[in-house]
Structure 1
């Protein structure tokens, strides 16, 4: 009888578009004995999983937890020692607000081997899919990526600091705190700063609202934008309209010459 070698590999599934998962991640899924996957993982990715592997949904939907984090940690260890290679499939990149580091620490303390496969973070890919660069010569030299809600369910203090900078600001999990975010930027007299909110980014259900600090709350209400969504604040948001305008001009010329 072969001895089970307990191992945890934390894998980033990417931001939603199934084509944005990495080749390395696919190869790990093919080798898995157990896959624990989250709600933000595109279900199409499960077709890459070893057909003999156990698949367990451990995500959160509509504010309800199927498993608490402590239970997930224990499940990783239990399945690792009973079945072998556990793959923890998480949306985006597991080290960017994904709690991947916590799960690896727990598994390591219990004697398991651990590894990580980075994923494409929604903080980068979702704006890019809408032609919004996080940095652009003459507009932004840096960017912040901040969680909108801390462990204590409060607004991150880093947003206050980011509002004082000239950097692009990307806020994840911030829709429930949008009014407070707007207020912080208004206090810095950035009322006309462009803002984009992208819901279900890189997927077929993607929706986008574009406005300014002063108008974005009305736009969210009009377009009924909600989680999961990303908030982008900065002059780089205007790049999207510039690209769209150039495309319109080219299409118009082609139509007239036809």
Structure 2
């Protein structure tokens, strides 16, 4: 994030606009809607601004710019398109005033975003001045998603906000109340144009409010790393959560999707760096749910594929705590796809085994060697440190030393690295990895990763 987003209160504040053409007019339209007292400095005004002056909506000074005109101003817009803009920017910044120079991000303290309005709901979208046309496309997409009467719903909520706070003292219960308002019958009536019915429904909801609130745990799959691979259900859970307990393998870009005021707790477990034991994680999940919180247990990949989701579900259900599961794209599927590897192929592999290189209490994680020998694809999670043992067991099971293998590190992410080769060279390939999560793909289909690996090495 290169700039800090925020909304300025310009109600009855003085703003100076230097310039009298279309660029100035566009900014003045927005400033007028925000309630600013606009003074324009320009020798000539276009027809729109001339009318605004005649009607007393803005003030005009037919003069050239001088720094003295900045006295008493809260904000400055330079829109001449000429060298004057640089003079205005320097003078404003010398006085500690925020200035925007139209189409000159390099001279500006702030940029004016693409704006979407629904009553009191205002959404601003910025590209830091790099792609204004793209902003228009994004704005159109968001406009299509937002109900036309969303502002009416916000206005109704604002009207009742103080009353709700007095009636419902408990913050968690109050949060649930507003969620029912925004997701239920009240919102439906607003969007249907029935404001009177919406008001009645809100009052009925308030009269029927319960003083207790039940906690709930959601075991959520974060997918292999790319935030675009999150499911819609997972994104909704992250936005609704009161508290998120997340793994170390969860990408920072995915954590950015968590509601900003939600509490976040790292309970990551990485080989050799177990920061929080599973028993403690279980206890934390139960304790937070017992306090009535909406708890998300955020796991890389899928909660039920080497994620101990089953253990956590058993623990919570045994204590009467509501728990649900939101599946995610497991690493084998996501990483193989981005590396160009079809895990099954009617000419090469009719089966797929997902195995862990690190099992509980020293269990043998290599009993699947016969599956690879039979021509199936084997994907090994958490097996990087076992690369030599995996090779030796497979060779001992009769697997050809030339069987294709591939290693995918940080799969689906921007820093994904893929290396490919043959089984006999697996330890040497493994030595090239280790800075991130690594997945091993063993089988004839791994040969599809050769082109990907070559291309990445050439671009490195």
Q: Output the TM-score relative to the length of structure 2.
A: 0.51
Structure 1 CA distance for aligned equivalents of residues 310 and 366 of structure 2: 22
2:407 and 2:429 in contact (8 A); partners too: no
Instruction: Say yes or no: does 1:196 pair with 2:406.
Output: yes
- From 182, 206, 209, the equivalent of 2:419 is 209
Q: What secondary structure is seen at the aligned counterpart in 2 of 1:198?
A: strand
Instruction: Say yes or no: does 1:18 pair with 2:254.
Output: no
1:196 and 1:211 in contact (8 A); partners too: yes
1:122 corresponds in structure 2 to 331
Per the TM alignment, residue 47 of structure 1 is displaced from its structure 2 partner at its CA by: 2.5
Q: Deviation per CA, 1:7-65, whole angstroms, max 9, x where unpaired?
A: 11000000011111111100111111111111011122223222332111111246222
1:220 corresponds in structure 2 to 430
Ranges in structure 2 where 5+ consecutive residues have no aligned partner: 1-169, 171-210, 456-460
Structure 1 CA distance for aligned equivalents of residues 370 and 283 of structure 2: 37
Ranges in structure 1 where 5+ consecutive residues have no aligned partner: 248-258
Structure 1 CA distance for aligned equivalents of residues 452 and 385 of structure 2: 31
1:36 corresponds in structure 2 to 245
- From 259, 277, 280, the equivalent of 1:68 is 277
Q: What secondary structure is seen at the aligned counterpart in 2 of 1:205?
A: coil
- From 134, 140, 151, the equivalent of 2:349 is 140
2:391 corresponds in structure 1 to 182
- From 256, 260, 263, the equivalent of 1:51 is 260
Structure 2 CA distance for aligned equivalents of residues 60 and 241 of structure 1: 31
- Kindly name which structure, 1 or 2, has the bigger radius of gyration based on alpha carbons: 2
Q: What secondary structure is seen at the aligned counterpart in 2 of 1:104?
A: helix
Per the TM alignment, residue 109 of structure 1 is displaced from its structure 2 partner at its CA by: 1.2
Q: How many residues align?
A: 245
Q: How does 1:91-110 map to 2 (within 5 A)?
A: 91-110=300-319
Higher relative contact order (CA 8 A, sep 6+): 1
The runs of at least 4 aligned residues of structure 1 exceeding 6 Å deviation read: 242-245
2:387 and 2:430 in contact (8 A); partners too: no
